[in-house]
Amino acid sequence: QVQLVESGGGLVQPGGSLRLSCVASGTIYQINLMAWYRQAPGKGRELVADITRGGVTDYAAFVKGRFTISRDNANHTTYLQMSSLKAEDTGVYYCRADVVEPGYRVVPYWGKGTLVTVSS
C-alpha cells in the first residue's frame, strides 16, 4: 500500500553537488525513521544517513560534513543534499522509510533506487 520513489540521481563531476529526494505515498499514519542507503557496484548496501521523525540525524563517517539529510513530515519526503562529491560516492542510492500502517504496525519500505555517478 506504500511506495517510495527516489529522484535526483545523475552524473556529476567530483567536487560537485546533487540533491536526492524520496517521496512516500499510500496509506500512512506517520513515518518514523527515514534513511538513505547506497550500494556501489559489487558491494553491499550501506547506511549513508538517517533522520528521526523529530529531526535527529546520524551520518556515516565517510559522508559526515559533506551530506545533509532532511525531511518534510507533512509531505512524507526526505532529502539528501550531497556536496563535495567523490568518485567513491558512486552507487545506487536507496530510500528507506519506517511506515506506521493501520493497526500501528511499523513496516520498513524501500524505494527502487536512483543512480548517482561521480566522474570527471
Grid-cell match 518534510, residue found: 72
Averaged over 10-24, what is the pLDDT? 98
Mind listing the pLDDT tens digit for each residue in 87-118? 999 999 999 999 999 899 999 999 999 999 99
Report yes or no: 16 and 118 within 8 Å, Cβ to Cβ: yes
pLDDT, the chain, mean: 97
Mind listing the pLDDT tens digit for each residue in 34-92? 999 999 989 999 999 999 999 999 999 999 899 999 999 999 999 999 999 999 999 99
